[in-house]
Amino acid sequence: MKCWLCEFSDDTIAKRLNQYAADQISCMDVETIANAIHEQLVEACPMSDGIGSDEVLAHFTHHTIAPNIRVAMELRALLQLSGKLRDVTTTTDEETGLTVVDAKNVTAYRQVVQDIMNIYKLGDASKLMFANK
């Protein structure tokens, strides 16, 4: 069975909620957006009463291919990963107390930063293919 947002994707309410997600994805994480949309959906469409916020979240994490949503989610994941990798680029040698650079982690960190920069170079994700879905 399709989720409500997929099943009624051409419906005015679903379009408005998907647009809300697209508008908010740059400043809110997808979990917060899913909760807000769930509240709006239940209020705007009583027939959707059985839908849970977890189903709304699944719509954005598994169903949608809208680039503005997907690109923003991947960017957030890469930003988190870059922070974790940055933290492990150096260690302290227990015997000498000297800082030791972990070349493997530096390489991984630099690659993730490059991937992040490449996403920023994409420009406006809403202009990419499937943007209006």
Q: Is 113 exposed, middle or buried (0-12, 13-18, 19+ CB in 10 A)?
A: middle
Nearer to Zn ion, 16 or 63 (CB): 63
Shortest spacing between CB 1 and Zn ion, in angstroms: 10
To the nearest whole angstrom, how small is the minimum distance from the Cβ of residue 55 to Zn ion?
Answer: 8
Min dist. Cβ of residue 7 to Zn ion (A): 8
Q: What is the smallest separation between the CB atom of 23 and Zn ion, expressed in angstroms? A: 18
CA dist 17 and 22 (Å) reads 9
Task: Pick between residue 3 and residue 81 the one whose CB is nearest to Zn ion.
Answer: 3
Q: Which is nearer to Zn ion, 39 or 87 (CB)?
A: 39
Please identify, using beta-carbon distances, which residue of 10 and 95 lies nearer to Zn ion: 10
Cα–Cα distances in Å, from 101 out to 82, 89, 105?
16, 6, 9
Nearest to 74 by CA among 119, 39, 104: 119
Residues near Zn ion, by CB under 5 A: 3, 5-6, 59, 63
- Residues 41 and 50: their CA atoms lie apart, in Å, by 11
